[in-house]
Amino acid sequence: MPIEVLMPALSPTMTEGKLAKWVKKEGDTVKSGDVLAEIETDKATMEVEAVDEGRVGKILVPEGTDNVAVNTPIAILLEEGEDESALSKGGNAPAAAAPANAAPASEETKAAPSAVQAPAPAPAPTVPAAPVSAPDSDEDKFFAKTVKKTVREALRDAMAEEMRRDEKVFVMGEEVAQYQGAYKVTQGLLQEFGERRVIDTPITEIGFAGLGVGASFKGLKPIVEFMTFNFAMQAIDHIINSAAKTLYMSGGQMGSPIVFRGPNGAAARVAAQHSQCYASWYAHCPGLKVVSPWSAADAKGLLKAAIRDPNPVVFLENEILYGQSFDVPEDEEFVLPIGKAKIERQGKDVTITAFSIMVGHALAAAEELAKEGIDAEVINLRTIRPLDTATIVNSVKKTNRLVSVEEGWPFAGIGSEMCALMMEQAFDYLDAPVARVAGLDVPMPYAANLEKLALPQVADIVKAAKQACYR
Amino acid sequence: MAASRRRSTKAQTDTAPAQAVSSEELLHYYREMLLIRRFEEKAGQLYGMGLIGGFCHLYIGQEAVVVGVQAALKEGDDVITSYRDHGHMLACGMEAKGVMAELTGRIGGYSKGKGGSMHMFSREKNFYGGHGIVGGQVPLGTGLAFAHKYLNDGGVSAVYCGDGAINQGQVYESFNMAALWKLPVLFVIENNKYAMGTSQERASAGELHQRGAAYGIPGYQVNGMDVLEVKAAADKWVNYIREGNGPVILEMKTYRYRGHSMSDPAKYRTKEEVEKMRSESDPIDQLKSKLLAGGHTDEDKLKEIDRAVKAIVTESAEFAQQSPEPDPSELWTDILVES
């Protein structure tokens, strides 16, 4: 059957071109890889190679022809054993010649495929607009028997229990083994689990983050500790491009059951490069879960959940909280659901959302507000992504006011997301504009007085809540 | 070994004498290389017809590298590479149909049309991608090797990167950890002389196979246009790695005939240079001559292989056009594993 040679597209944006020159003539034999013709686009002249073998039976578009549309038949090839009589039967099996060297569309600036080539997109289903929430937590029953632990100990216990439970769990990072953790979070793990499962890495964030993700592709469950999340900026390519996206890019064949954990946000007097909150950065990305505990019980229950989760989890801790003590359930089966917020204080006048260290500030603010007769409800978000929108929306339906508190910068921050959530799902319930309390929009200063000014304080939350209540 | 650790600017080539290779194996290599060549030509053709979109990086000219290395690997070993990945997938035994349908963005593709040319995987065939960020696959592949060591399963990870990726910092972070922890990983540098449009001379100081010298990683240059030389070197060093001696770097001197991607005019090299490589060093032509001269086969048998390969490729192209586009509901699947 004769083969039609079609005008090829030489780049995703090309719709037509000039057939500048025929290199092969009618009657010439061609084999795969031979240059058939030269074609000019508005950008470059390039050679077109044959893909099929045969003999040029007929040239349909003479050289010098301008504006030849992509996919127009330009010649007919006769296959082995065919003669010119086959031409009258018409070509079948249309086959564009392969562009040898295509137009120099820049790799970075290439436009979307032309309308001619792009199939009409089917309407896409939209994200469910109704508030979403994980199933209710049964955590209360675990609090019948508790013990006082620091956040640091709770995190360590969570890792140790999960490592005892699952041989595939291991922890790696800088100073996690012999040094016992830069902030002593991994204290004792090397002694119990040995150097096979508690691994000191070189200072090589993108390297060990990528290595951890690769190991997780094979079903291991790495806990990758960043000494602080500030250093994870070196590794963010693997957290997002490799860990978060692979399940989707592989059509569900392989994902990354990994935990990236470490202190996030400001510590004390360590200035701009060591004091940044990454909650909104990671929360932006589909394919990741983002968790940020406040209490020791949060830390333990959520870290155990993160380790058991088959997805990549970014676990944002706080250095200042490491030494604070809280009641923690003794039961090893105490695991908190990811995606579920906790109402830490019931109230009816205004809702305050916060995560990590800001939950403590919000609770302190609520006590101040109570003295002035304002009954605030405080929600500990616990998980940033997926956000427990149902708990927040339901609270606002009751209080009609929302104050969002975070330590990070305001622009495109978690508070911005809270505003969007209120617009989309609680607009008719609001009696006041949503108020954002956030870190100031400046790099973190070193001076003690400036650092304090840059971070949200209890008084800032009190002020914002009073404004929301028109007080 | 000692030789590789010397700080010499002279290339250390590995021309390990080939073990006796049976006619059957030789024909297998011929078939595998031809399948990749014909598949890529067809992909170029479908791109020209507008059926494949975006970036499409063809492997034509480099076939001996992946076919030779694959021949040295065993069931259970892993492969990971960059975005020039179609050849690696076929060599791993992934079906041409599924690969081509991924290129056309159809539901029958390995990633259900959601990954495309640069992002394809096969859990079943231990092919871990297909990665679009230059050099990103190197720590990931080192992690695959870490998992082999952790699980003590005797497996080896083959990590491919190009002469462009070799200048990324994360490659050296990986070399360091691989050497430090004696991970079972073969680093294959596919040096096709051009990182997109920048020649090796303009981008890379020193010899690429010596880039692991500071970490004590043995490194050798191999003629990547000869599948038997590739196979012999890979056999030797994969065994060395499997015995627990840590990583090895093999720099394959190879060449791509086509542009970096389909939209590359390739003005950075001469036609004569390309033509010289094609006519004098083509991996398929070289093996064909050896097969015929050594009496391993005859023209008829080779024609039969050609026809069989062509049938597979034709079928894959048909499948890639007939397979439907993914249902819009696929937008929202595979984002998270439901726990």
- 8 Å CB contact of A210 and B143: yes
Collapsing DSSP to helix, strand or coil, B326 comes out as coil
Considering only CB atoms, A253 lies closest to which of B121, B132, B339, namely B121
- 8 Å CB contact of A242 and B131: yes
- 8 Å CB contact of A311 and B41: no
Structure token digits, residue B241? 């790695």
For residue B149, list chain A residues with Cβ-Cβ distance below 8 A: none
Considering only CB atoms, B140 lies closest to which of A49, A210, A255, namely A210
In this structure, are residues B130 and B138 in contact, taking their beta carbons and an 8 Å threshold?
A: no
For residue A212, list chain B residues with Cβ-Cβ distance below 8 A: 143
Considering only CB atoms, A255 lies closest to which of B112, B262, B337, namely B337
Query: B113's torsion region: left (phi>0), alpha (psi -120 to 50) or beta?
Result: left
Considering only CB atoms, B176 lies closest to which of A96, A123, A202, namely A202
pLDDT band at A435 (very low <50, low <70, confident <90, very high): very high
Q: Which of the residues A116, A201, A203, A250 would you substitute to probe the B interface, choosing the one with the greatest number of B C-beta atoms within 10 Å?
A: A250
A423 to chain B nearest CA, in Å? 24
For residue A125, list chain B residues with Cβ-Cβ distance below 8 A: 328-329, 331-332
- In the predicted structure, residue A55 carries a pLDDT above the cut 60: yes
- 8 Å CB contact of A249 and B109: no
For residue B264, list chain A residues with Cβ-Cβ distance below 8 A: 101-102, 104
What's the pLDDT tens digit per position in A375-386?
999 999 999 999
Q: Which of the residues A23, A43, A217 would you substitute to probe the B interface, choosing the one with the greatest number of B C-beta atoms within 10 Å?
A: A217
Collapsing DSSP to helix, strand or coil, A92 comes out as strand
pLDDT band at A282 (very low <50, low <70, confident <90, very high): very high
- In the predicted structure, residue A337 carries a pLDDT above the cut 70: yes
Task: Please report whether residue B330 resides in a domain.
Answer: no
Buried b (16+ CB within 10 A) or exposed e, A134-157: beebebeebeeebeebbbbbbbbb
- 8 Å CB contact of A250 and B80: no
Q: What is the pLDDT along chain B (339 residues), one digit of tens a residue?
A: 344 444 444 667 877 665 689 999 999 999 999 999 999 999 999 998 889 999 999 999 999 999 999 999 999 999 999 999 999 999 999 999 999 999 999 999 999 999 999 999 999 999 999 999 999 999 999 999 999 999 999 999 999 999 999 999 999 999 999 999 999 999 999 999 999 999 999 999 999 999 999 999 999 999 999 999 999 999 999 999 999 999 999 999 999 998 888 878 788 999 899 999 999 999 999 999 999 999 999 999 999 999 999 999 999 999 999 999 999 999 999 999 986
For residue B110, what is the domain's CATH number?
3.40.50.970
- In the predicted structure, residue A51 carries a pLDDT above the cut 60: yes
Task: Please report whether residue B258 resides in a domain.
Answer: yes
Q: What's residue B330's pLDDT?
A: 96
- In the predicted structure, residue A3 carries a pLDDT above the cut 80: yes
Q: What's residue A219's pLDDT?
A: 97
A55, containing H or E segment = strand A54-59
Task: Please report whether residue B331 resides in a domain.
Answer: no
Residue B266's closest chain A neighbor by CA?
A101
| Least-confidence region, from A13-27, A74-88, A316-330, B195-209 | A74-88
A173 to chain B nearest CA, in Å? 12
Residue A288's closest chain B neighbor by CA?
B336
Considering only CB atoms, B328 lies closest to which of A122, A249, A309, namely A122
For residue A202, list chain B residues with Cβ-Cβ distance below 8 A: 173, 176-177, 180
What's the pLDDT tens digit per position in A90-105?
545 555 555 554 444 4
- DSSP assignment of B258-318: S-SSTT---TTS-HHHHHHHHHHH-HHHHHHHHHHHTTS--HHHHHHHHHHHHHHHHHHHH
Of A153, A205, A225, A417, which one is the catalytic site residue?
A: A205
What's the pLDDT tens digit per position in A455-467?
999 999 999 999 9
Considering only CB atoms, B45 lies closest to which of A95, A251, A310, namely A95
CA distance A112 to B287: 41
- Strands (DSSP E) contained in chain B are 78-81, 127-130, 157-162, 185-191, 194-195, 198-199, 219-223, 248-253
Task: Please report whether residue B332 resides in a domain.
Answer: no
Residue A211's closest chain B neighbor by CA?
B143
Considering only CB atoms, B263 lies closest to which of A110, A122, A123, namely A110
Domains of chain A, with CATH numbers?
3-99 (2.40.50.100), 143-329 (3.40.50.970), 342-468 (3.40.50.920)
B46, containing H or E segment = helix B23-48
CA distance A264 to A319: 7
For residue B112, list chain A residues with Cβ-Cβ distance below 8 A: 251-252
Q: Which of the residues B140, B274, B332 would you substitute to probe the A interface, choosing the one with the greatest number of A C-beta atoms within 10 Å?
A: B140
What's the pLDDT tens digit per position in A221-262?
999 999 999 999 999 999 999 999 999 999 999 999 999 999
Buried b (16+ CB within 10 A) or exposed e, A110-131: beebbeebeeeeeeeeeeeeeb
Residue A206's closest chain B neighbor by CA?
B170
Task: Please report whether residue B291 resides in a domain.
Answer: yes
Domain residues for B308?
Answer: 2-6+13-322
For residue B198, list chain A residues with Cβ-Cβ distance below 8 A: none
In this structure, are residues B271 and B279 in contact, taking their beta carbons and an 8 Å threshold?
A: no
Structure token digits, residue B220? 């050798």
Structure token digits, residue A186? 């991994």
A214 to chain B nearest CA, in Å? 4
- 8 Å CB contact of B121 and A206: no
- 8 Å CB contact of B114 and A251: yes
- In the predicted structure, residue A110 carries a pLDDT above the cut 50: no
Number of domains in chain B: 1
Task: Please report whether residue B96 resides in a domain.
Answer: yes
| Number of helices and strands in chain B (H, E) | 12, 8
CA distance A17 to A384: 51
Task: Please report whether residue B230 resides in a domain.
Answer: yes
- 8 Å CB contact of A214 and B143: yes
For residue A336, list chain B residues with Cβ-Cβ distance below 8 A: none
- 8 Å CB contact of B111 and A98: no
Residue B157's closest chain A neighbor by CA?
A214
Q: What's residue B17's pLDDT?
A: 62
- Strands (DSSP E) contained in A232-338 are 259-263, 289-291, 313-317, 325-329
User: What's the mean pLDDT when you consider all of chain A?
Assistant: 90
- Dihedral of the alpha carbons of A25, A26, A30, A33, in degrees to the nearest 10: 50
Q: What's residue A85's pLDDT?
A: 78
Task: Please report whether residue B337 resides in a domain.
Answer: no
Q: What does the pLDDT average to over A333-346? A: 97
For residue A201, list chain B residues with Cβ-Cβ distance below 8 A: 177
In this structure, are residues B162 and B189 in contact, taking their beta carbons and an 8 Å threshold?
A: yes
A26 is catalytic: no
Residue, of B111 and A9, whose pLDDT is higher: B111
Residue A47's closest chain B neighbor by CA?
B265
- 8 Å CB contact of A102 and B262: yes
CA distance A325 to A376: 24
Structure token digits, residue A35? 């240059």
A317 is catalytic: no
Considering only CB atoms, B337 lies closest to which of A119, A219, A247, namely A247
- Side chain identity at residue A320, one-letter code: I
- 8 Å CB contact of A215 and B55: no
Considering only CB atoms, A103 lies closest to which of B112, B142, B263, namely B263
Q: Are strands A376-380 and A342-345 parallel, antiparallel or unpaired?
A: antiparallel
- 8 Å CB contact of B263 and A105: yes
pLDDT band at A126 (very low <50, low <70, confident <90, very high): low
Q: What does the pLDDT average to over A309-337? A: 97
Residue B279's closest chain A neighbor by CA?
A33
The alpha helices in A349-446, defined as continuous H runs, are 357-371, 389-399, 414-425
Of A162, A238, A274, A417, which one is the catalytic site residue?
A: A274
Measured CA to CA in angstroms, residue B109 lies from A438, B86, B177, B326 at distances of 46, 13, 35, 9
- In the predicted structure, residue A89 carries a pLDDT above the cut 90: no
For residue A8, list chain B residues with Cβ-Cβ distance below 8 A: 45, 47-49
Q: What's residue A102's pLDDT?
A: 43
Sequence-separated (6 or more) residues with CB below 8 Å from residue A292: A264, A279, A315, A316, A317, A318, A355, A356, A381, A382, A383, A384
- 8 Å CB contact of A9 and B123: no
For residue A103, list chain B residues with Cβ-Cβ distance below 8 A: 263, 265
Q: Model ipTM?
A: 0.94
| Least-confidence region, from A119-128, A202-211, B189-198 | A119-128
For residue B120, list chain A residues with Cβ-Cβ distance below 8 A: 250
A257 to chain B nearest CA, in Å? 9
